[in-house]
A and B are shown apart, each in its own frame.
Chain A
């Protein structure tokens, strides 16, 4: 059983629209959650972290955490072609667990 699950996609989003990515996790003991962006052929880069229930905003990105339902989501507002990448969700409980990633394709 996968401990951090994401839809693999691809998620196709028109330019300027909101991209919504979801991630569920199995361990209620998870403490912190992270979203990374990985462009093809590159290494992951941290977008943001979240560890309290609710929303956290950083520029065009908003992370949402719901510990009771065990999910964390990432919203990308005003999506741009440069947002086309694979987005990795990670949870920390003792050790980091990564999801397989969701591929996002922003179409002009």
Chain B
């Protein structure tokens, strides 16, 4: 299957700082990537859809000025959590969409665990 990487895998930061998370599709080009957040024992929550070369589409209730998304190339999307606070502590997961073949398919990165002190 397609491989998606994320960096860093884990980050601890102080309240008020910004954190950037990178999501890369390693062996395919992804016009579309997705960013999810997952709290312990809860479902995946889609935050935004990232499209290469255009502005991201945010889900209702997700602050676009707090969660900055940049999809500058066909293999890289970044999520920046600005002025992070303890309530932003969560597991952030990206996925990349492969197109063509029988159906579009999402492949997930390994996730980034963010802890804000």
Number of A-B contacts (CB under 8 A): 42
Binds B, one of A17-25, A64-72, A96-104: A96-104
The answer on a CB contact under 8 Å between A46 and B104 is: no
Binary flags per residue of B66-107, CB closer than 8 Å to A gives 1, else 0: 000000000000000000000000010100000000111111
Chain A residues whose CB sits within 8 angstroms of the CB of B34 once the complex forms = 96
Size class of the contact patch on chain B: 10 to 19
The answer on a CB contact under 8 Å between A32 and B103 is: yes
Asked if A49 meets B103 with Cβ closer than 8 Å, knowing A43-B93, A44-B44, A101-B43, the reply is yes
What residue of chain B has the Cβ atom nearest to residue A99's Cβ?
A: B43
| Residues of chain A at interface, number, CB under 8 A | 20
What residue of chain A has the Cβ atom nearest to residue B112's Cβ?
A: A43
Binary flags per residue of B25-44, CB closer than 8 Å to A gives 1, else 0: 00000000010000000011
The answer for the CA separation of A76 and B1 in the assembled complex, in Å, is 20
CB of A92 closer than 8 Å to a CB of B: yes
CB of B110 closer than 8 Å to a CB of A: yes
How close is A72's CB to chain B, nearest CB, in angstroms? 13
The answer for the CA separation of A46 and B107 in the assembled complex, in Å, is 7
The answer on a CB contact under 8 Å between B108 and A45 is: yes
The answer on a CB contact under 8 Å between B108 and A43 is: yes
Chain A residues whose CB sits within 8 angstroms of the CB of B91 once the complex forms = 41
The answer on a CB contact under 8 Å between A92 and B110 is: no
How close is B109's CB to chain A, nearest CB, in angstroms? 6
What residue of chain B has the Cβ atom nearest to residue A32's Cβ?
A: B103
The answer on a CB contact under 8 Å between B44 and A92 is: no
The answer for the CA separation of A98 and B36 in the assembled complex, in Å, is 12
Asked if A51 meets B102 with Cβ closer than 8 Å, knowing A44-B44, A98-B43, the reply is yes
The answer on a CB contact under 8 Å between A100 and B105 is: no
Chain B residues whose CB sits within 8 angstroms of the CB of A44 once the complex forms = 44, 93, 108
The answer on a CB contact under 8 Å between A42 and B110 is: yes
CB of A105 closer than 8 Å to a CB of B: no
- Listed from nearest, the 3 A-B pairs whose CB atoms lie closest are A32-B103, A43-B111, A43-B108
